[in-house]
A and B are shown apart, each in its own frame.
Chain A
Amino acid sequence: MAIRSFFIPFLLFVLCFCSSLSPVLSLYEDQVGLMDWHQQYIGKVKQAVFSTQKTGRRRVIVSTEENVIASLDLRHGEIFWRHLLGSNDVINGIDIGLGKYVITLSSGGSILRSWNLPDGQMVWESFLQGPKHSKSLLLVPTNLKIEKDNVIVVFSNGRLHAVSCIDGEVLWKKDFEAESFEAQQVIQPSGSDLIYVVGFSASSQFKMYQINARNGELLKHESATFSSGFLREVSLVSSEMVVALDSTGSILLAISFQNGEISFQETPISNLVEDSSGPAVIIPLSVPGIFVIKTNSVTIFIKVIGKGKFEVVEKTNHETAVSNALPISEGQQAFALVQHAGSEIHLAVKLAHDWDDNLLKESIKMDQQRGIPHKVFINNYIRTDRSHGFRLLIVMEDHSLLLLQQGAVVWSREDGLASIIDVTASELPLERDGVSVAKVEHNLFEWLKGHMLKLKGTLMLASPKDVAAIQSMRIKSSEKSKMTRDHNGFRKLLIVLTRAGKLFALHTGDGRVVWSHLLHKSEACQSPIGLNLYQWQVPHHHALDENPSVLVISRCGPSSDAPGVLSFVDTYTGKELNSLSLIHAVVQVIPLPYTDSTEQRLHLLVDSDKHAHLYPKTSEALSIFKHEFSNIYWYSVEDHNGIIKGHALKCMCIGEVVDEFCFDTRDLWSVVFPSESEKIIATVPRKLNEVVHTQAKVIADQDVMYKYISRNILFVATVAPKCSGGIGSVTPEESWLVAYLIDTVTGRILHRVTHHGARGPVHAVFSENWVVYHYFNLRAHRYEMSVIEIYDQSRADNKDVWKLVFGKHNLTSPISLFSRPEVITKSQSYFFTHSVKAIAVTSTAKGITSEQLLIGTIGDQVLALDKRFLDPRRSVNPTQAEKEEGIIPLTDSLPIIPQSYITHALRVEGLRGIITVPAKLESTTLVFAHGVDLFFTQLAPSRTYDSLTEDFSYALLLITIVALVAAIIVTWRLSERKELQDKWR
């Protein structure tokens, strides 16, 4: 065959080329930070405790909603240490004990840990158990001692524990047998040996237990009944009085339990506030003498005067956050108030007993995109003139954390970035005159100095100081952080949507935030919940003057049939172009492969009544859509009842209001999995924007295989329903995993394979014609990865070159999914050492470069694994021809080469997702991994074969050229002289 004679030398050449490169792609230590960046976050702060140590660096200990405990530098906001607890180990409370231990209560109050404050090492751990589930309360009294041992008081699981602060030993415990007793507060009046536990029982009974703190002996037990019941929250106003609301939320109750006597004082809210409307809620606080209630949007501060007498001190419509009280001197307690008013926030620090006098009153300009303040924590310091200064730690609506001191923001952290829910990439503006932002000013001396340093570096003469200087010079190269598009497409904007409903644009060069935008709040929708991001407009051909924009889909409330909100945001500026409050819900969004004349992509939004709505609502879009009406198919997965359905459009909506952008849908097919034996645990489609270079795959014996490439294949994994528990909960015999490949237009099952003795969780990635999935093998008790490749048999006989020449092939015949495809599949399985959190695959601009799998391991690292290791044609003894093709001999497990961790010595703590974006340069792909931390890098799966690398030595090239020119001149001179001599002879 003609092809054969051509391919052999070609293959040999490729093989030689490949073998000259080392098989792994790896990094030298001094290349860290050149193309990658890593950012550490903690998440939205739930609770903060200031370390009041006199010596050492000042810190604040925080616990967050991402389940992180961290110690932050109070001066700069940097992280000293940080621990991310498991998702089943939610933090209930934190405090500082003895000034040197951080005490955390987690796992529903059953695990109490102590961490060393300076370095974050765990000191001890105690497991507290009890008879029943209950609210968990942690109390670390400063002066309660039992035999020189400081005591931590924990109420959890219906039991009160006193735990030693030194070694975590349980000193005594006391059960609260009463069936329905729910503790609300544990109180330890300072200076006494008594502990009060107060709470409710059976919804209308208030109970108080007085306990001896030394031995846990029950001293007194009182209960009193209030006929109309209570709301659960209470506010502690003194060590002998709590304030609660009745079950209707309209009567305030002062409950005092002085000397073990319980007495109620009722005050209807309407007596205090004339125009109160709607039920009130108590904001749980502990400020002596003051409590806060909220009705509708009005926050009311009420002071307790005397026994059960109330007085309203302030009413405000502004969004307000209040801190707990902080003892500042003998008998004096201060607390902080933060109010949001337009573009400013007002701070006030007041003494608890004196409302009208402010210790501090300031207004600070606040970025509108931070939203309203959610939480405030107060700390004080003594100024040089012995007066009190205050620091306020504020948590904003966008989850950012700010430290305010002396009327200014000392530092801020964008901790909203710890909870990214969706990512998309956007191009930067084209470089035009005046657009370029970065300015590079170099004088000759500095330029020379830089090159001298680099030369020293290459000759290994550099001192450690020089090395650091070289490193920072390389990292700070202004090229990569410019605000314009570059030739290779390395510079882009990553648009991320966070759980707080804020959009951030991160520059891929250095990871800085270019702009941020908090989702627009309207009258109709007070708190939109961001769901997804889509590329709305990507101008590249016709509409170059338009800025690209993204579509943010959000929902107006927690339930899935709440109305949706669409926001269109310009990616260059971060301005919201338009916002639509929809009347229908958004259950599914289908970006269609059509764009209008301004390059706006058509999107189909399916609501909960199975109507499809077309966006943008223009007549042009409608005409394009009508044209493709019968070619639009989609599927939906109902994983709770195990059904996958295929849908198509039927006709215009039939309703009272004529809406020509609304369409009825019909069900085409459905696949129903038997609920007693199979449960859907993973569905993975192919990526929409993936580019495949060629359908043909040349294999070893010069044969050609044709990949079955269809955008409409879905990978579905089901497991036995028993497998939903932990790994140990099921035996191999009653456990199986079934993998399907389903055509989503016709519902045809193209392939089905059962793995006996396997179980989830399943992580999968689908690309080109292959799918790779990761699961647990119970028999071998190891994790496994399998690959399925699917090939088109109907084109398999197009191998004869003469057929190709004379056009007697069927390669150009249209493919219809309705004709039954002749496909064959090949598959293979391998062991893999680690658990996996996410799998992705590299994607490049033209799809020519070979692919790598990016595996996020349990250790929060990202491993790059060549797709060649997951090739079903691997065999134990590959033939010579197969070896030339690059087939690796089969091994039972996949290799883990430490140098191929793309995160090198870093961790992407709490890894959740890996996103790859193709650069314009074919060899390179951009990788973004996000979790609590963010990590970005560039990757060249087959090395940068199409451009010179960063470490290419231009100096050496120059020297060589100069030397060559010099040599030419010298030899020319020599030869001339010799010729002259010859002629004389």
Chain B
Amino acid sequence: MDQVHDYENLVADIIAKGMQIYEVLYANVLIGKLPKSCFATKGFALSGRISNVKVILNGGQMYLRGHDGYFSFYYVPSGTHLIEVVAMGYFFSPVRVDVSARNPGKVHAALTENKRGLSELVLKPLRNEQYYEVEEPFSIKSLLKSPMGLMLGFMMVVAFFMPKLVENMDPEEMRRAHEEMRGQGAHSMSTLLPGGVRN
């Protein structure tokens, strides 16, 4: 919190000195924070990650302070603004920030994605982003599901189960089928089909 006090002192200093600040400028310093804890989700080294986070106010960007995650914008005019946070691997909702014209320094913030208000300007990622497909471990099941596996499976069925089926048939019927086949030759297909014409 030391830094916040520093900034508050700075703001107080600026106001106390009565410097020429444009009429519309109210929030001299907009301080926000990205808590470090929100990056600790996966046990990555924090320092490396947090240094590449950008905070963007209406398109103009700022960097975070590495060791504590504070960011600040100077001379923010009253009105409604949009803060976006860019961090690889995390999804942040843009934040709508209303800087009050009546009460100097009063700021109201809300997430635009889910319209949730923020009591303080502490931005947390909504979710992690995984840029790669998760590699599925090697399994027999996936091998069988592939076209090759299906082909092999079908062949197995034909090779081992069809003879069984033929064996289980009534010998009488077998003989009749054989005769039919011999007798009809080319037309044998139609008799094999269900509902085919029988003579």
Contacts and interface: CB of A to CB of B under 8 A. Distances in A.
B104 interface: no
Contacts of B159: 967, 971
A721 interface: no
A127 B74 contact: yes
A860 B61 CA distance: 13
A86 B96 contact: no
Interface string A765-786: 0000000000010101111000
A835 B56 contact: yes
B29 interface: yes
Interface in B115-148: 129-133, 135, 137-138, 143, 146, 148
Interface residues of A, number: 63
A143 interface: no
Interface stretch (B34-42, B86-94, B190-198): B86-94
Contact of A833 (B66, B74, B80, B113): B113
A728 to B, nearest CB: 3
A682 B120 CA distance: 37
A727 B58 contact: yes
Contacts of A88: 60
A26 to B, nearest CB: 5
Interface stretch (A114-122, A535-543, A657-665): A114-122
A363 interface: no
Contact of A727 (B48, B65, B67, B81): B81
Contacts of B105: none
Interface in A727-744: 727-729
B80 A834 contact: no
Given A121-B66, A123-B65, A782-B112, A728 B84 contact: no
Given A835-B56, A967-B155, A967-B159, A956 B146 contact: yes
A124 to B, nearest CB: 7
A572 interface: no
Contact of A956 (B79, B80, B148): B148
A85 interface: yes
Interface stretch (A218-226, A845-853, A922-930, A957-965): A957-965
Contacts of B132: 26-29, 32, 899, 904-905
Nearest to A861: B88
A791 interface: no
Contacts of A896: 91
A783 B59 CA distance: 13
Interface string B32-60: 00000000000000011011001010111
B74 A729 contact: no
A382 interface: no
**Interface range on chain B: under 10, 10 to 19, 20 to 34, or 35 or more?**
35 or more
Interface in B7-23: 10, 14, 19-20
B91 A898 contact: yes
A120 to B, nearest CB: 6
B158 to A, nearest CB: 9
A30 B132 CA distance: 9
A899 B29 contact: no
Contact of A119 (B47, B79, B129): B47
B4 interface: no
Nearest to B3: A124
B152 A963 contact: yes
Query: Chain B interface secondary structure, helix, strand, loop or mixed?
Result: mixed
A728 B99 contact: yes
B64 interface: yes
Contacts of A440: none
B86 A859 contact: yes
Interface string A123-163: 11101010100000000000000000000000000000000
Given A123-B65, A127-B29, A956-B148, A899 B130 contact: yes
A653 to B, nearest CB: 46
A727 B129 CA distance: 28
Interface in A834-873: 834-835, 858-860
B188 interface: no
Contact of A858 (B6, B56, B78): B56
A781 B133 contact: no
Contact of B88 (A28, A727, A907): A907
Contacts of B19: 129
B131 A728 contact: no
Contacts of A781: 80, 82, 96, 112
Given A86-B60, A964-B151, A121 B67 contact: yes
Interface string A29-40: 110100000000
Contacts of B64: 122
Count chain B CB atoms within 10 A of each CB in A726, A778, A971 and give the residue with the most: A726
A899 B89 CA distance: 11
Count chain B CB atoms within 10 A of each CB in A30, A122, A957 and give the residue with the most: A122
Contacts of A967: 155, 159
Contacts of A32: 132
A365 interface: no
A111 B75 CA distance: 12
A718 B86 CA distance: 29
B17 to A, nearest CB: 10
Contacts of B61: 85-86, 89
A121 B135 contact: no
A206 interface: no
Contact of A123 (B6, B47, B67): B67
A615 interface: no
A858 B138 contact: no
Contacts of B129: 898
A778 B72 CA distance: 24
A81 interface: yes
A83 interface: yes
Count chain A CB atoms within 10 A of each CB in B59, B130, B131, B132 and give the residue with the most: B131
B151 A960 contact: yes
B148 A28 contact: no
Contacts of A310: none
Count chain A CB atoms within 10 A of each CB in B132, B135, B155 and give the residue with the most: B132
Contacts of B72: 125, 127
B60 to A, nearest CB: 5
A967 B99 CA distance: 78
Nearest to A128: B74
B129 to A, nearest CB: 4
Interface in A902-918: 904-905, 907
A123 B79 contact: no
A123 B88 CA distance: 21
A257 interface: no
Contacts of B88: 859, 905, 907
A524 interface: no
A778 to B, nearest CB: 8
A460 B84 CA distance: 41
Contact of B131 (A778, A833, A834, A904): A904
Contacts of B63: 83, 113, 122
A113 B66 CA distance: 12
B172 to A, nearest CB: 17
A122 B66 CA distance: 5
Contacts of A27: 131-133
Interface string A519-559: 00000000000000000000000000000000000000000
Contacts of B138: 458-460
A129 B20 CA distance: 10
23 contacts: A28-B133, A85-B61, A119-B51, A121-B51, A121-B65, A122-B63, A123-B65, A127-B10, A169-B6, A459-B138, A727-B80, A727-B81, A728-B79, A728-B80, A781-B82, A781-B112, A835-B59, A859-B86, A904-B132, A905-B88, A907-B88, A964-B151, A967-B155
Of all A-B residue pairs in the complex, the 3 with the closest CB atoms, nearest first, are: A121-B66, A728-B79, A898-B129
Given A27-B133, A119-B48, 20 more contacts: A27-B132, A28-B135, A88-B60, A119-B47, A119-B66, A121-B47, A121-B51, A726-B81, A728-B78, A728-B80, A782-B94, A833-B113, A858-B86, A860-B86, A898-B130, A905-B131, A953-B148, A957-B148, A959-B148, A964-B152
